């Protein structure tokens, strides 16, 4: 069904049919692949996790399947396409009114906002209010992409690039900025001890890879659940293989919507008469920065330990333990200071674990509705992700749903939380504008890249003529 829908939508906005069909087929392949990997992981770990709970008394009964299965589940809902259409229209209106310079072509990751809207509906919200929440978050993240653009230029050492991102993981920036400012006041001297992330990654090498971290988890769970030596080795290699495969198959999902993204870009360029824009991409264009991976490697064991003792947490980090929903935002706010990234990351990880626990009933029920619930898991078990992007937005969706479902305290809580969310973002915006002015004062004029790209585009147009 998603093959047909994605193909027809891309074709309808002007993508060549063969390219549109290619994207649809890639999506179908990705859905098939991720389903098989989930079944492999849950099949091997189901018994061990039940034994883990029984032998330790720690109720970490929610299976962490990582982001790719959640994307599969969310894209299985027709509402995701509805939210996508609205968000594209809103982005084009913002561009036309010159409220933003960012064209969001990260079509695939609309599932992050859709997840929030669907979660709100699950807990009791109606479609109208859930849609308004999705649009609100979509507008905020586009504003955020404009604020971050000079920092991306600085981190990439390239002031002529058009790249920015509208990825939802960067909506944790305001919270991180609070801790970053506290760090300035309380521990500025720690910056003197910062170390080279590239060298750390080189020293860790294979032992910090996804495969190795999967093996550590397998050994840990196997020992804690009192499995045999043979079973421990099986858990090791299955976890290692699945963490690697989650990443590989995740890239297939992204590739599958490239034709649609290109179609949206071409359509916007036609309507906006050649205006030069920043292009909102998925976050990995910044993945060349070694700090992202060094911090993720250090935070993985920290998150595992926190999950064991954190009150209210019921999710054991597994598929999401490589904290890609956490570290990119840390990189932007701290500007790559690794000690800050690790300390602040360790402080904010509980927010992700609590959000994963909170969303588990919704994820589980929706997976069953769209036929994506792992066959090897018992019907009483739940699924979620430990580092799902947008934990604050998940709390907003939960409060809105419960409030509209009849709980007046939750409804009041939603409006208070929404006001706090907005005020914190406005404070963060002021800090980022100060930073951007700093870049300009240092000689990095943030508009120079736009002027240069516009000049190049005009010269190319003359050459074509």
70-96: pLDDT as tens digits? 888 898 888 998 999 999 999 989 988
111, pLDDT greater than 60: yes
pLDDT value at residue 282: 76
Q: What are φ and ψ of residue 382, in 5° steps?
A: -115, 160
309, pLDDT greater than 70: yes
465, pLDDT greater than 60: no
pTM of the model: 0.77
Burial of 17 (0-12, 13-18, 19+ CB in 10 A): exposed
* Radius of gyration, CA atoms only, the chain: 22
**Could you count the other beta carbons within 10 Å of the beta carbon of residue 81?**
16
Q: List residues bridging with 384 in a β-sheet.
A: 64
How far is 350 from 306, CA to CA, in rounded Å? 7
pLDDT value at residue 145: 94
User: What is the rounded average pLDDT for all residues in the chain?
Assistant: 82
379, pLDDT greater than 70: no
Lowest-pLDDT choice from 41-55, 224-238, 239-253: 41-55
**Domain ranges, residue 258:** 1-461
pLDDT value at residue 332: 93
CA distances from 393 to 11, 156, 186, 264, 429 (A): 32, 29, 29, 26, 18
Which residue, among 176, 86, 114, 100, has the nearest Cα to 144 in the 3D structure?
A: 100
Q: Which residue has the higher pLDDT, 195 or 396?
A: 396
How far is 134 from 117, CA to CA, in rounded Å? 6
Q: Which residue has the higher pLDDT, 376 or 305?
A: 305
At 134-180, the pLDDT tens digits run: 999 999 999 999 999 999 888 877 666 677 889 999 999 999 999 99
Q: Give the confidence band of 106 by pLDDT, cuts at 50, 70, 90.
A: confident
Q: Give the confidence band of 272 by pLDDT, cuts at 50, 70, 90.
A: low
Q: Give the confidence band of 449 by pLDDT, cuts at 50, 70, 90.
A: very low
Angle at 273 between CA 270 and CA 276, to 5 degrees: 100
Domain count within the chain: 1
Q: Which residue has the higher pLDDT, 277 or 133?
A: 133
């Amino acid at each position: 069904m998603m093959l047909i829908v994605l193909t027809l939508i891309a074709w309808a906005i002007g993508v060549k049919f063969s390219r549109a069909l290619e994207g649809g087929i890639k999506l179908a392949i990705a859905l098939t692949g991720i389903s098989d990997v989930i079944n492999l992981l849950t099949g091997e770990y189901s018994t061990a996790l039940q034994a883990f709970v029984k032998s330790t008394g720690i109720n970490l009964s929610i299976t962490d399947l990582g982001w790719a299965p959640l994307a599969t589940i969310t894209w299985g809902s027709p509402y995701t396409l509805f939210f996508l259409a609205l968000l594209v229209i809103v982005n084009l209106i913002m561009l036309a009114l010159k409220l933003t310079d960012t064209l969001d072509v990260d079509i695939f990751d609309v599932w992050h906002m859709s997840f929030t809207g669907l979660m709100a509906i699950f807990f009791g919200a109606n479609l109208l209010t859930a849609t308004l929440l999705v649009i609100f978050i979509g507008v905020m993240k586009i504003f955020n992409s404009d604020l971050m653009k000079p920092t991306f230029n600085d981190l990439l050492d390239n002031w002529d690039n058009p790249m920015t991102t509208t990825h939802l993981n960067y909506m944790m920036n305001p919270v991180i900025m609070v801790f970053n400012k506290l760090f300035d006041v309380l521990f500025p001297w720690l910056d003197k001890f910062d170390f080279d992330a590239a060298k750390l990654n080189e020293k860790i090498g294979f032992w910090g890879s996804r495969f190795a971290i999967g093996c550590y988890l397998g050994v840990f769970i196997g020992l804690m659940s009192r499995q045999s030596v043979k079973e421990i080795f099986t858990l090791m290699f299955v976890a290692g293989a699945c963490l690697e495969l989650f990443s590989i198959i995740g890239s297939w999902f992204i590739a599958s919507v490239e034709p649609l993204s290109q179609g949206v870009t071409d359509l916007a360029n036609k309507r906006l008469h050649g205006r030069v824009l920043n292009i909102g991409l998925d976050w990995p264009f910044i993945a060349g920065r070694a700090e992202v991976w060094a911090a993720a490697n250090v935070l993985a064991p920290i998150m595992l330990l926190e999950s064991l003792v954190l009150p209210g947490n019921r999710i054991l980090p597994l598929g999401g333990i490589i904290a890609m929903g956490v570290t990119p935002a840390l990189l932007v706010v701290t500007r790559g200071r690794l000690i800050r990234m690790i300390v602040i990351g360790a402080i904010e990880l509980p927010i992700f674990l609590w959000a994963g626990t909170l969303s588990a009933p919704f994820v589980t029920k929706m997976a069953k509705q769209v036929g994506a619930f792992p066959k090897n898991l018992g019907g009483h078990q739940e699924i979620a992700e430990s580092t799902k992007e947008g934990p604050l937005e998940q709390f907003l969706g939960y409060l809105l749903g419960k409030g509209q479902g009849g709980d007046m305290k939750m409804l009041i809580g939603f409006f208070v939380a929404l006001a706090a969310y907005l005020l914190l973002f406005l404070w963060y915006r002021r800090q980022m504008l100060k930073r951007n002015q700093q870049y300009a004062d240092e000689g990095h004029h943030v508009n120079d890249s736009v002027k240069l790209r516009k000049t190049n585009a005009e010269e190319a147009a003359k050459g074509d003529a």
